[in-house]
Chains A and B, each alone.
Chain A
Amino acid sequence: MNTYDFTFAGQRLVARPSGALHWPAAGLLCVSDLHLGKSARQARRNGVQLPPYDVEDTLARLEAEVEATAAATVICLGDSFDDLQAFDALPLTALDWITRLQAGRRWIWIEGNHDPGPVALAGDHLAQFRHLGLTFRHFASDEDRGEISGHYHPKLRLRAGSRACFLVDEARLILPAFGTYTGGLRSDDPALDRLMAPGALAILTGARALAVPMRQNRSGRASSRRGR
């Protein structure tokens, strides 16, 4: 398999190469930061005419994940819409598509900073969701162990290239952005560095989910020589 299986807060979880998180025992699929309608919002705000295919592409990839995992519950971990106006501007075909995906399963919309408030779509609209010791919310907080969040769009750079990635340590799991038009924040950014414990792992997305240490200590040899 191209997935990466790991244990987090006592649960077996699966990081999928697409950037989606699968929890087989709970029949649950979680994706973060879809940013649907980003190209429309860019056009509205800045007159930037990004190709208007991001909604279609994001939903097509989401559909493939839902089908592959046959998830009974889907959690969208916040920033599902680029803003509430972007939601209003979504074409009918996109709304129908989402409704079709929701049929026969539980669907949970977690609020994010881009979409603070319920949208006119079926599903539960929650600030956070707890299940079997795991907490799903948009922003990482310091409160509990077993927290799964999004928001930062983490990515990691290796010599062979840069990839969106999951970040995971004992207490916390941060998901990469799933939306098509989403940039990334380098994993060595202070914001992420502060959040993650020393032994944290990064799980790269791409053709295969690959785990690497979040902080690369390749300089071990070099840094000891480094003088001021």
Chain B
Amino acid sequence: MKSLPAVITDWFATRGWQVHPHQQAMVDRRAEPAVLLIAPTGGGKTMAGFLPTLAELAAGRHEGLHTLYVSPLKALAADIKRNLTGPVTEMGLPIRIEDRTGDTSYTRKRRQRADPPHILLTTPESLALLTSYEDAPRIFKGLQRVIVDEIHALAESKRGDQLMLALARLQGLCPGLRRVGLSATVEDPDAIARMLARHPDPCAIVAADPGPDPDIAMLALPAAPPWAGGGAAYAIPQVMAAVKAHRTTLIFHNTRAQAEIFFQNLWLANDDSLPIGIHHGSLDRAQREKVEAAMVRGDLRAIVCTGSLDLGIDWGDVDLVIQIGAPKNVKRLIQRIGRANHRYNAPSKARLVPANRFEVVECHAALQAARAHALDGDPRGPGPLDVLCQHILIAACSGPFEAGALYAEMTTAGPYAGLTRAQFDDCLEFCATGGYALRAYDQWQRLQRRADGQWQLRDPRSARIIRMNIGTIQDSDLLKVRFKGRGGKPLGEIEEGFAATLTPGDTFLIGGQIVRYAGLRETVVEVTRDAAKKPKIATFGGTKFATSTQLSQRILDMLQARDWPYLPDHTRDWLHLHRQVSRLPEPGRLLIESFPHDGRAHACIYGFAGRNAQQTLGLLVTKRMEELGLDPLGFVATDYATLIWGLTPLTDPAPLFDIEALEAGLDGWLAGNAVMKRTFRASATIAMLINRNMPGTRKSGRQATFSSDILYDTLLKYDPDHLLMRITRAEAMRGLVDFARIREMAERVQGRIDLHRLDRVTPLAAPMLLEVGRVPVTGAARERLLEEEAAALMAEAGIDRL
């Protein structure tokens, strides 16, 4: 056991605090090359990460940077600075602590490069930028430790891949660098450990006492939830009562639009005018910060929020978490529950509110999983190549490099341990020349090979553009919303696609207010106040999570029971009735119901593959039906089923579900699909084919560029095997298209398809008829819509032909 310096143990003692066992373990193992700490929220995780640093710096003999702290949120870096500076000052330790994020001033950043602090707190993007400077070796000289906070969150996106490539670079500069990861509870700690450690170094895993089991249950509700939809307005009185009965409540939602609607409904019922705020990623930063500050002061009784509060700073006295809508993913539920009672060894309290009838089943399945500590999650794929391309360019900014050495360095990053030399060379070729099948001219070269074989930037000035565009976060298609008039107050942001659907006079909700769309002024959406009680349009943005594979499986298993005594009667009767008239879906089989309704033939496919995959399945199956002359007219998808309607009843489903044929259909359909274009835009931006920021055009950038769709169409036509097209296909397959889960379903089912023909709609299928998001089947749909709209406009204007 390594002891801590007296100055630190004394400080603990004067506060009557004890060093937690996991904190001591981190001190004991501080010499190891990589250690991952898994601890619940409020477990003194950050202190556990920093204690070894404080111990090593206590003697005051270290010169320059000693510890780098990386977190996913700028706010977290600032918060840690505050929380660490306090104890360090009180202990009288000679340690300088500074943060460096996108918000840090230019002069301060310059000074930090010349004279780095002992502890630097930063984000993955700011770190990547630091490694791009020619003087990186000098900046990082002496660096001993790196602490990656909330590594479980970083691992869920490309930011994690970016960070690990940056660490590989740092390790080259500082061979003795030791890595520490701090994580919330996750389903597969080994995977995070492999990502964190330098490949093939081992990584020790320290697990803190998880604390007492949380107190989780369904919120008691007298009324049955509606058959479809996600608003949960029926639960407002009980949620309001729960808010009143607790000090501070976090009310989590799955999408921003739902949060907005719920927030508005809550205020309409807020007879006591309790202070209730709203927080989500579309709100203006100043607005969000205001809510955060009020929360920290303890001024708010409740916050209606989304994933934007999944992470982050200590929220003081939250004593209740309410989850509206099925959690879709047990791990996220557990992490959200951890937001309540941010104190060690006190149970967190959480209540679930299903938004519709099927979510009652989903919520119960999630409760069972949470109580059984059965976490879910998708395995991390290999490191994406668009991020690798970006890091090749970042490396070139810092100076000439030898291809073999850079390849060797990059494969020490966990996510890229399996990267082949051929893949690397493809990426290098893309960075150097664009990688087009048509050999481009010299002037296309971004990198060139010197006589000594090293690669360097052809034009050193291009380093500036590369540095301006570092990062993997995609937020380029958001438009600011402001009140009309000079100095109009900013309200937040909406997706460009949503803005495009608005016409003057339309009303929508943002920041809990109903506003009226007035027009688009350059890149700002201008709105006016509106006194209406109900917005005309309420949907904008926000992620629609698909129910995880594990949770879907648990629901299927649950449906096999003879009875469900724990379910409320309305839901229990519903399931029994379905079993009576049809049959319930079973694991290892695929149930399809075929029935007439409203003069159309319907087929309901219970794939339980999650929303994205069920949507893709709908597109592919209707395409096959079209080919087979089955005249499909449209479909709608939920997390558990796809409902298709058309003119001809389905009698022989087997040919429709031939996985080979489905996959073959995928290629043709994918090519022109909006999902692909969206995925392409993201990858092309990360790989720096498209630059979001250009010197001097930061403001007018939108006008200066043209749609990435044109680049996609051009590549599809002339160069379909281009690296970026390959990256796009791979991304879409595991992302929005989620074909992997369709394949998984096909493997699970192995041709065991049960077609059940009925004379009317079944209880489980009925809510599907109410679902929004119906997709018409016709390739010419867009053209036809446009023509109808044009005709209507001309008629309205009273002009036909000039």
Q: Which residues of A contact B (CB under 8 A)?
A: 5-8, 40, 43-44, 46-54, 56-57, 89, 91, 157-163, 168, 180-186, 188, 199, 201, 204, 206-208, 210-213, 216-223, 225-228
Contacts and interface: CB of A to CB of B under 8 A. Distances in A.
B801 A6 contact: yes
Contacts of A89: 441, 443
B434 A51 contact: yes
A49 B433 contact: yes
A207 B779 CA distance: 13
Given A46-B694, A51-B719, A168-B802, A185 B703 contact: yes
B444 A158 contact: no
Contact of A217 (B500, B506, B714, B797): B797
Contacts of A160: 782, 785-786, 789
B719 A53 contact: yes
Interface string B470-506: 0000000000000000000000000000001101111
Interface string B415-450: 000000000000000000110101011011010000
A226 B793 contact: no
A210 B786 contact: yes
B796 A158 contact: no
Contacts of B707: 183
B691 interface: yes
Contacts of A204: 786, 790
Contacts of B505: 218-219, 221-223, 225-226
Contacts of A91: 441
Contacts of B506: 222
B448 to A, nearest CB: 11
Given A43-B444, A47-B465, A204-B790, A213 B797 contact: yes
Contacts of A48: 689-691
A54 B717 CA distance: 11
16 contacts: A47-B458, A47-B459, A51-B434, A53-B718, A159-B503, A162-B500, A180-B710, A182-B706, A199-B799, A207-B783, A210-B790, A213-B793, A213-B799, A218-B503, A226-B528, A228-B528
Contacts of B717: 53, 57
Contacts of A185: 703
A68 B266 CA distance: 62
Nearest to A85: B443
Contacts of B501: 159
Contacts of B434: 43, 49-52
A226 B436 CA distance: 53
Contacts of A207: 783
A222 B506 CA distance: 8
Given A53-B715, A183-B704, 20 more contacts: A40-B444, A43-B434, A43-B440, A51-B718, A52-B441, A53-B719, A158-B790, A160-B785, A161-B782, A185-B703, A206-B783, A210-B790, A211-B794, A211-B801, A211-B802, A219-B503, A219-B505, A222-B503, A223-B505, A226-B516
Interface of B: 433-434, 436, 438, 440-441, 443-444, 446, 458-459, 462, 465, 500-501, 503-506, 516, 518-520, 528, 689-691, 694, 703-707, 710-711, 714-715, 717-719, 722, 782-783, 785-787, 789-790, 793-794, 796-797, 799, 801-802
Contacts of A56: 718
B17 to A, nearest CB: 55
B504 A210 contact: no
A49 B711 contact: no
A51 B790 contact: no
B725 to A, nearest CB: 10
Nearest to A217: B797
Contacts of B790: 158, 204, 210-212
A51 B783 contact: no
B479 to A, nearest CB: 13
Nearest to B695: A46
Contact of A158 (B705, B789, B794): B789
A210 B787 contact: yes
Nearest to B785: A160
Contact of A201 (B444, B718, B787, B802): B802
A53 B438 CA distance: 8
